[in-house]
Structure 1
């Protein structure tokens, strides 16, 4: 269409010289000059600012040569409207405003150079092109709003997916820990029930406690799936302050666990606090299930801008098919928790024997 318009404008200037040209303007100047006003629009995609701007600059320059030519060729009016629209539709607001100024200024120059202009045309002609510019601007705003809405929808979808992954991880941690505890205690009770009923009763009591804790944790997690605005009477999520209770429940098994704290304890960001607890819980659960260890040590170190967590046991370390190794979902979950906060997690066998999980969780001011 642009090429057709350029050809049509050249033919109109060549065939209707008396109607479109001022006396004294030769056709050999006007005919090749007129298409030059239209043709820059061909480059509008590659040069979205310069191409429509060139339309107005060339048109204003051509009107200084022949004031009647630009206003008499209909294709040039259409090219000016298209250029004004494109300038209003620019993504860069500064370029768009510059385009408006150039459009109004060039339209005023063309009107001034037209020998038949009237006073009212200084308002009407620039006003028409200003309306075209505003149409482009309105379309750009609408497109931006649509893009913003789409971006918000995608962000909400990503947040929903992240929340599902978090809940799945929490469910894995809760179920794996408590079910493992109950399995170990049930096995211990089966072994000693005949010769030591008192010890068997203690093991069964630990199973009961662990099952109640599992139900409470599951109740809290399932509560996250309720609609927003529902009354929330669930217990708060555990943090490092609850490690004592966790260790006490594990000490009822055949695994002895010690906890040491270095540095000055301080309030932690909620999500960091929960993640630190869950990492210790998962590491001890893996030790209980797979390591065959008799002792584990949990070390918390409070550094100025991070929390270091270390869980070391004296077991046999990872073996094929074990969640204690790199392929287990438990270890993947711990890595995901560390990565969520920009932390670093390492896990592997110790040179002197045993297995260690170490993680550093940043705790900057203002962290969530």
Structure 2
């Protein structure tokens, strides 16, 4: 069972009916106004051929190649049959242009050249003459086909330009989303590394103060003083983070990014929580890139926070070893450690993310002989001797 023909588009209906009226009307007017002797009567078969050339254009959009073959064949056959010269060839012009314009280039060129050869070959074969008008027909066909090529090229160029603009817009949107995601991750790390660290110290010191309040009020007072200072620092950090969130066009930072030169402050905070902390510096200190410098500080800060909160340790050691191509940061304690690999909580995940941003790595796990150890290797690029 054959499939039904698709429904013609409005444009194709207008083109087909317009060509039918134009072709049939021109033949009728020529036969009425300027009849030539020996010309065949167009009714009914001449008009039937005109209809065969024009009406298939109703499906010009749906079946361009099939319609072109039928229409061009009918229009080509019209003239050798001896009917009055009309403009039925306009059907051929429309279909050849359509083929080339819509990308059927080889088919359109082949059909146009074949039509020209068929018409003039018939003239040579039957009449033994070559009509001078044939040269004009060649030029007409070439202009028609080249016009279709130019219009097609322009359409493809405009389409490619629209696609480029759409891709650029999509890429820009993706870049904005990526930057927003990275900023959220950075803020999450900052909140965890600073606020969570200070809150942990406050919690430990508050417990110490409650325990010592009655028997050792002096030490309880020291714990409360530490809580006061730590809470003040926490408020400063929170204001800084909220300031970034409120800023529409973020400018340069208003305070220096904490780096390796502030490790002693982190160690002192851990000491105030009852942990004996020893800080060792090996090698020749160099000026680190900002990202690496901050990663050193945050790694030590988070590792000591975990010592205070989870390790149950009495002593911790911080080692910062400046090597030719990297800086090694190691924080170890004498606590209870873990069985196997530690769970990837926010602290360890944040350390690894910061190290990854500067091309480094972080290993965390039980230390030999007990306790827990965090070891970060952070590359040094373009460093120079620290001045100070």
- TM-score, length-scaled by structure 1: 0.69
* SS across alignment from 1:224: helix
Structure-1 residue corresponding to 2:348: 331
Structure-2 residue corresponding to 1:135: 155
Name the CA shift for 1:265/1:19 in 2 (closer, same or farther; >3 Å). Answer: farther
| Distance in 2, Cα, partners of 1:200 & 1:11 | 103
Name the CA shift for 1:168/1:69 in 2 (closer, same or farther; >3 Å). Answer: farther
Q: Does 1:349 align with 2:374?
A: no
| Distance in 2, Cα, partners of 1:228 & 1:190 | 44
Structure-1 residue corresponding to 2:302: 282
* SS across alignment from 1:204: helix
* SS across alignment from 1:325: coil
| Distance in 1, Cα, partners of 2:291 & 2:79 | 75
Check the 8 A contact 2:339/2:366 in 1, yes or no: no
Check the 8 A contact 2:109/2:145 in 1, yes or no: no
Structure 2 runs not aligned, ≥5 long = 1-59, 81-95, 120-132, 384-388
| Distance in 2, Cα, partners of 1:196 & 1:178 | 24
* SS across alignment from 1:185: helix
Check the 8 A contact 1:63/1:69 in 2, yes or no: no
Higher mean Cα deviation, 350-359 or 268-277? 268-277
Higher mean Cα deviation, 227-236 or 270-279? 227-236
Name the CA shift for 1:147/1:158 in 2 (closer, same or farther; >3 Å). Answer: same
Aligned to 1:17, which of 76, 84, 90? 76
| Distance in 2, Cα, partners of 1:241 & 1:273 | 9
Structure 1 runs not aligned, ≥5 long = 22-36, 42-51, 71-112
1:96-121, Cα deviation, whole Å (9 max, x unpaired): xxxxxxxxxxxxxxxxx963248798
Aligned to 1:159, which of 179, 187, 205? 179
1:255 Cα deviation from its structure 2 partner? 0.6
C-alpha root-mean-square deviation of aligned residues, in Å? 3.7
1:141-172, Cα deviation, whole Å (9 max, x unpaired): 11211121112112211211221122112112
1:57-93, Cα deviation, whole Å (9 max, x unpaired): 56556666654669xxxxxxxxxxxxxxxxxxxxxxx
| Distance in 1, Cα, partners of 2:75 & 2:252 | 82
1:340 Cα deviation from its structure 2 partner? 2.9
Name the CA shift for 1:338/1:260 in 2 (closer, same or farther; >3 Å). Answer: same
1:223 Cα deviation from its structure 2 partner? 1.3
**Aligned pairs (5 A) from 1:72-221:** 115-117=135-137, 126-127=146-147, 129-221=149-241
| Distance in 2, Cα, partners of 1:60 & 1:245 | 82
| Distance in 1, Cα, partners of 2:72 & 2:147 | 26
Higher mean Cα deviation, 169-178 or 285-294? 169-178
